[in-house]
Amino acid sequence: MKKETETNLRILRTDPLKMNIRVWFDYLKVALKWNGKLGYHKTTPFQFQINKEYYRAWNLNQVRTLLFDKWWKTHEHLFSDKNYVSVRVLDSLSVEDALKQVKKQLIKKVGKTKSFQITNSRFRYLQVDDYLKCFTYRNWKGWSYHRIGVRMLKDYEKKELLYLKSSKLLRRRFTVKTIKEWVADNNRHKLLTVVRRKVLNAEKILENVAKGQFTGKY
């Protein structure tokens, strides 16, 4: 997994756990839909073999048909176990250094539930959500990588006014560069490469999710 600086539409996350599970739910729904089907310009079908035993409590038929909020109302209990972790830092540290120490100690301690847990300690909600959007545009609409990039950039730039009005929303950008900067650079191939990487990341995560790993390694 290569490091990328990328984000998306701003989103209000008053309940981070719920929003993390929403992305997991979305990936599982897509895996269910595309398993055994040919994607755009694919020569072999996707192999998203669902671990039905692992997901038994999720009620896969409901995952296929329901919107997340409605599904969540009857499945929230699967993720409701609350455990607490402890971290220790020296009181002589600066705030910046103390936060670094806390972050190191929290890795592998958080993001877990009793039965279902995020298996990537570096889980990045915004980027992972972006990957799936790119995968959907590519395979559902049959768009070129470049067209996907331009569409995503335009969609996010339309949300800039929301960023200014609310301090509670998470700022989301698709790439470090704005669409104007991409046009100025006249580097179509590089934008294409960025989007292609996102689509491939989504494919790998979909394979992992089908097995019962979110996000797993990608």
pLDDT by position in tens, the chain (length 218) = 443 333 333 334 446 788 899 999 999 999 999 999 999 999 999 999 999 999 999 999 999 999 999 999 999 988 875 566 777 888 888 888 888 888 887 776 665 545 677 776 667 888 999 999 999 999 999 999 999 999 998 888 877 777 677 666 666 678 878 777 777 777 778 888 999 999 999 999 999 999 999 999 98
Burial class of residue 58 in the structure, from the number of CB atoms within 10 Å of its CB (0-12 exposed, 13-18 middle, 19+ buried): middle
Nearest residue to 138 (alpha-carbon basis) of 36, 26, 34:
34
Residue 201 CB neighbour total at 10 angstroms: 22
Please give the tally of structural domains in the chain.
Answer: 1
184 occurs within a structural domain: yes
Q: Is residue 143 a contact partner of residue 151, using CB atoms and an 8 Å limit? A: yes
88 occurs within a structural domain: yes
96 occurs within a structural domain: yes
What are the structure tokens assigned to 128, written together? 């992972």
Residue type, 113: T
- For residue 145, give its domain range: 11-211
What are the structure tokens assigned to 28, written together? 């599982």
pLDDT of residue 59: 96
1 occurs within a structural domain: no
84 occurs within a structural domain: yes
HSE-CB at 67 with a 13 A cutoff on CA atoms is 2
Confidence (pTM): 0.74
3 occurs within a structural domain: no
CA 78 to chain CA mean position, Å: 20
How far apart CA 80 and CA 109 sit, in angstroms, is 16
HSE-CB at 214 with a 13 A cutoff on CA atoms is 27
What are the structure tokens assigned to 17, written together? 């756990």
183 occurs within a structural domain: yes
Burial class of residue 5 in the structure, from the number of CB atoms within 10 Å of its CB (0-12 exposed, 13-18 middle, 19+ buried): exposed
6 occurs within a structural domain: no
How far apart CA 101 and CA 183 sit, in angstroms, is 41
